[in-house]
Amino acid sequence: MYTWAGARATGGTSYTQATSASYPIPLGFTPKVGQIAEKGAPTTECPGSSEKPKAAPGYLCVYETRRDNGTLEIEVDEASQSLFGFALYAVVGEGENFEYGGRWAVTAP
Distance CA 34, CA 53 (A): 11
| Contact call for residues 89 and 73 (beta carbons, < 8 A) | yes
Closest CA to 56 of 83, 80, 36, 77: 36
pLDDT tens digits, the chain, 109 residues: what are they?
A: 898 888 887 876 666 667 889 999 999 899 999 999 999 999 999 999 999 999 999 999 999 999 998 888 898 876 666 789 999 988 888 888 889 999 999 999 9
